[in-house]
Amino acid sequence: MNFKEILKNHQHISDLILNNEILIALNSLLAFASNTKRQYHQVQIEKIKDTYSNILKHSFSGVEDPERDKIYSYVQRSLLELNDKVKECLLTETSDLTTYKMKWSLERELEGQPDEAYSLINNLTFDNELDKILKDSNIDLTQNNIQDETIVSRQDALKELFNILWLTDSYHDTETKTIESICNSNKIPWHDKSLVVSAITLSLLRIFDSKKFLALLNFYYSEENQVWQRALVGIILALYKHDKRLNLYPELEKQILKLAKVDEIDKHFETVLIQIFKSKETEKITKKWEEEILPEMMKMQPKIEKNLDLENILSEDFSEDKNPDWEKVFEDSPDLLDKLQDFSQMQIEGSDVFMSAFSKLKHFPFFNEISNWFTPFYKENEYIDMIVEKEETNLQPFVEQLEKSFHMCSSDKYSFCLNLQMIPDSHKSMMMDMFNEEMKNLEEVQKDENLLNDFTLTKSIITQYLQDLYRFYKLHPYKNEFSDIFKWNFDVQNSDFFNKIVTNKQVIRNIAEFFLENEHYDKAVEIFRIIEKTEESNIELFEKIGFCYQRLGQYDNALKYYKRAELLDENKAWVIKKIALCYRYLNEHENALEYYKSAEKLDAENLYILAYIGHTLMRLERYEEALKYYFKVEYLSPANEKIQRPIAWVSFVLGKFETAIIYYTKVLGKKINEFDLIHLGHSYWCDGQVKKAIETYQTAFDHFKYNISKFSQSFMEDSEYLEANKINILDIKLMKDLITNKSI
């Protein structure tokens, strides 16, 4: 079995177990387990099978068994755990995946060292104490290579501990004791604890284990800054992934439900979930940057260089911190400045705008270790120390400022620092100065906007951590070996445990609003419909549900909700226009016209309403009335050239050929369109100007690139209007052949 087949079988069996299809699950699991080299799994399955047979026998014996439901849950729990073990066994034994080769090697190493994880704690605490003693005694840290030895041992200890906690399937006493010691230690710094939290999270997402859940809960309740936020992210991800099996573990369930009593848990859950959804938008943001903004900036490069006066940048007159002419640079591209400002706002709000820039800077050896993708950025980091020591430029102030930055995740900060080694010193100094200046400006903005409160700090930590996770799942060389969490639906409104923990319904509403704002109408409407069950007279809710259905093209459903909104406020122009629009798309034009006329009474000079009254009248073939409305739109908005086309067409249909010719000539003066040329030709022909008609048709045929089929189809579609204006069908066919006959 290959990787995908193993995962597919595992998921299928899990679904059977959770859907109470136990007999089918037992037989499927036996077949699944037969692919491994171990007899142990089959033996365990047979034991569970015997237990289940007893349940079946006694269930209908007439004697009530008070323990039956508990035993049934035990069967489900045991089967799920065995199914997990078979999956892991098969992946370790048969796959060529690098991570499972690592897992196999680690298991072999740990066979003779069961307490290896716990022994690694000494490496994390002893070195910190030694460094402190040496510094307090003013002893040279590089003497006798002490620093190099401690760096190597400490980094290796962290890496090995991360791998053990990540690649261990079920935590036993050693792992549990190790994690408890780390969580409760005052000697182990926050960044090491954060790394441990990430290892536990990855492990729990790979394979369920109640002890891993409890470990994350302990780190969360420790309330240590930077650590508890990461633990919360891990808990929420695991709650979503394992939602359907948690109620099989009553003791764990009890501990998880205690979260509901934590202050601000609703707000923190919302923050994590919204940031996950924002992370899922990253590809869209990156695409916008690469396809819209960057090409526009590249086109503007010569103008920017001229406006910035780069040749005289070092002259004495160059005293401004920032060029006062910068905004004028964007006059030739008015949308670009707006787009860049949008990106800045998105960055402040937590959107991942740096993915495109830093995705190409993950090739450094530093990122060869999986643990380093989750290492928080801190200025004392040994890798950073080595970079700082090697550089002639004083990078320490820069590193300190970078550590404080709320707008760049740890992974990108490491990329930035590692990339500095490739930059010439002359450019490096200038870059440091610019960056430090920008950081100071950001600090001022944050102070002005009161961004440094506790909740905003928490939000920033969560945002940065999720961006680190995003880079790992999207950029790591072995990314295909992991289940990408950012491809999950995260339909948390259907999650049992989410609804038990988050009791503030406003959180659900805010998630729906986020989906609406970001045009995920299918997800938004699903949540709004859940909210509707408890809010039966909320006009805004009905409007938003209607709008979502409208954007999904479900006009019947949209109309139903817009009508409910109308009942609560029959004079609301927005709702009336939406009802008219739905009727129009449902081809109920009389009803559409009725509502557009009602909207006109509320806003008599609204161009949108007037134009669509014209469109609706045209569909009802009430052409004279339609033309009056089109002329009114033109009168109120002379600069609106788009109204000229329907005026031209309706004029032609009504036999007002001179007017049609005037307006089609105006339209074609702005932009040549083959269909407008055909209609102009019709107008000339019906007006008796046969020669001009033929010339115009030939020009249209040229714009159809001499495609006879397309031209003929478009030409003949209007035959009924030509016949209505006294052009007989034979002449119509002859004219078509005259234009398309290449031999003439």
Residue 524 lies in a domain: no
For 649-667, the pLDDT digits (tens) are 999 999 999 999 999 999 9
Mean model confidence pLDDT for the chain? 84
Pick from 509, 510, 581, 575: which is nearest to 539 by CA?
575
How is 382-419 classified by DSSP, letter by letter?
HHHHHHHHH-SS--HHHHHHHHH-SSS-HHHHHHHHHH
The yes-or-no verdict on residue 337 having pLDDT over 60 is no
Domain C-terminal end among 587, 610, 639 = 639
Do both 91 and 106 map to the same domain? no
The yes-or-no verdict on residue 519 having pLDDT over 80 is yes
Half-sphere exposure of 120 (CA within 13 A, CB side): 27
pLDDT at 110: 86
The yes-or-no verdict on residue 741 having pLDDT over 90 is no
For 169-178, the pLDDT digits (tens) are 999 999 999 9
Where does residue 431 fall: left (phi above 0), alpha (psi -120 to 50 degrees), or beta otherwise?
alpha
Quick one: angle between helices 265-280 and 227-241, nearest 10? 70
pLDDT band at 332 (very low <50, low <70, confident <90, very high): very low
Do both 396 and 478 map to the same domain? yes
pLDDT at 181: 92
pLDDT at 360: 82
CATH of residue 537's domain is: 1.25.40.10
Q: Following CA atoms 466, 280, 413, 477 in sequence, which dihedral angle do they give, to the nearest 10 degrees?
A: 100
Q: Which domain holds residue 631?
A: 530-639
Do both 90 and 133 map to the same domain? no
User: Cα separation of 420 and 431, whole Å?
Assistant: 10
Domain C-terminal end among 95, 122, 143 = 95
% helix, strand, coil for the chain, step of 5: 75, 0, 25
pLDDT at 291: 53
pLDDT at 241: 96
pLDDT at 29: 97
Question: How wide is the angle at C-alpha 134 spanned by C-alphas 128 and 139, nearest 5°?
Answer: 150
What total number of domains does the chain contain? 4
Kindly report the pTM of this predicted structure: 0.79
Least confident interval from 1-5, 103-107, 146-150: 146-150
Domain C-terminal end among 468, 503, 538 = 503
- pLDDT higher at 506 or 15: 15
CATH of residue 703's domain is: 1.25.40
In this structure, the number of other CB atoms found within 10 A of the CB of residue 426 comes to: 9
The yes-or-no verdict on residue 434 having pLDDT over 50 is yes
Do both 617 and 698 map to the same domain? no
Alpha-carbon dihedral sign for residues 635, 639, 641, 642: negative
> Can you give the three-state secondary structure of 53-69, one letter per residue?
HHHHHHHCCCCCCCCHH
For 50-67, the pLDDT digits (tens) are 999 999 988 887 778 888
Could you identify the residue written with the tokens 């200038």?
Answer: 430
Q: How much is the average pLDDT of 297-326?
A: 38
Residue 590 lies in a domain: yes
Alpha-carbon dihedral sign for residues 328, 331, 333, 337: positive
Do both 455 and 579 map to the same domain? no
Phi, psi of 461 (to 5 degrees): -65, -45
Do both 132 and 66 map to the same domain? no
Residue 297 lies in a domain: no
Q: How much is the average pLDDT of 220-226?
A: 95
Residue 319 lies in a domain: no
pLDDT at 621: 93
For 437-452, the pLDDT digits (tens) are 666 665 665 555 555 5
User: Cα separation of 453 and 476, whole Å?
Assistant: 34
Cα Rg of the chain, angstroms: 35
Do both 612 and 678 map to the same domain? no
User: Cα separation of 688 and 670, whole Å?
Assistant: 26
Do both 547 and 439 map to the same domain? no
Residue 295 lies in a domain: no
Percent of the chain with pLDDT over 90: 58
The yes-or-no verdict on residue 144 having pLDDT over 70 is no
In this structure, what DSSP letter does residue 534 have? T
Question: 564 vs 163, 367, 568, 587, CA distance in Å?
Answer: 57, 56, 7, 21
Q: How much is the average pLDDT of 120-149?
A: 51
pLDDT at 699: 93
Residue 268 identity: H
Do both 534 and 493 map to the same domain? no
Question: 89 vs 82, 101, 115, 169, CA distance in Å?
Answer: 10, 12, 22, 10
pLDDT band at 155 (very low <50, low <70, confident <90, very high): confident
Tokens of 340: 């860049």
Residue 580 lies in a domain: yes
Do both 130 and 228 map to the same domain? yes
User: Cα separation of 652 and 659, whole Å?
Assistant: 8
pLDDT band at 200 (very low <50, low <70, confident <90, very high): very high
Residue 516 lies in a domain: no
Do both 630 and 705 map to the same domain? no
pLDDT at 327: 38
In this structure, the number of other CB atoms found within 10 A of the CB of residue 418 comes to: 19
Do both 566 and 443 map to the same domain? no
pLDDT at 302: 44
Residue 107 lies in a domain: yes
The yes-or-no verdict on residue 632 having pLDDT over 50 is yes
Among the ranges 296-305, 319-328, 454-463, which has the highest mean pLDDT value? 454-463
For 347-393, the pLDDT digits (tens) are 445 455 567 667 888 888 899 999 999 999 998 888 888 887 776 66
Percent of the chain with pLDDT over 70: 82
The yes-or-no verdict on residue 301 having pLDDT over 50 is no
